[in-house]
Amino acid sequence: MSRRLYLGRLPTDARTDDVQKFFDGFGRIIDCRVMTGFGFVEFESPKDAEDAVHNFNGKSFMGANIVVEFAKESRPRREPYDGDRGHGPRTRRPPGIRLIVTGVSRDTSWQDLKDFGRDAGSVSFADIDRDFPGQGILEYLSREDADRAVKELDGKELRGRPVRVALDETVARWWSR
């Protein structure tokens, strides 16, 4: 039986700490990920996960009635840097060139951020980091697009607010090797 639960209809300002506190007392949580409007929580025990589904599905959380159900496991989960999905040696390369966008307004969605980033090139990933208010992430497929984004988007307005766009420091160190 699965131990991983899907959480739907989460308030857009919900954070990982909020979700963990909500499930406090229903078993040991071994993983909790919160995105914009949804998330996943994984319990150590399948029985604890089952109890959480029965007790929390449809319950009020931060003013919204949320969905709590077993996650669909249609594809195997993997770490983001696992490389070639089991074909050949594992590599430690980023899937894209990551940029950090700061000064993002609270009402900005990941879709807004991705559309904003497309002005500079091919965006492979975009998200609003709810654990760090005012911050978002953009990833580009090529270094050229990422460099163009920093040059052209830094200081530009997104939903009426000027934002800062910079290369993620961990990626910058990786590229300088």
pLDDT at position 70: 87
Mapped onto helix, strand or coil, the DSSP state of residue 110 is helix
3-state helix, strand, coil in the chain (%, to 5): 25, 30, 45
Strands 38-43 and 60-61, by their bridges, are unpaired
pLDDT 10s digits, 120-167: 988 888 888 777 788 999 999 888 999 999 999 999 999 899 999 999
Start-to-end CA span in the chain (Å): 44
DSSP 145: H
Mapped onto helix, strand or coil, the DSSP state of residue 6 is strand
pLDDT at position 95: 60
Residue-level length of the chain: 177
Q: Which amino acid is at 166?
A: A
**Structural domains of the chain, with CATH:** 4-70 (3.30.70.330), 97-175 (3.30.70.330)
pLDDT at position 48: 93
Alpha helices per DSSP H over the chain:
16-22, 46-56, 110-117, 143-153, 169-175
Q: Which amino acid is at 57?
A: N
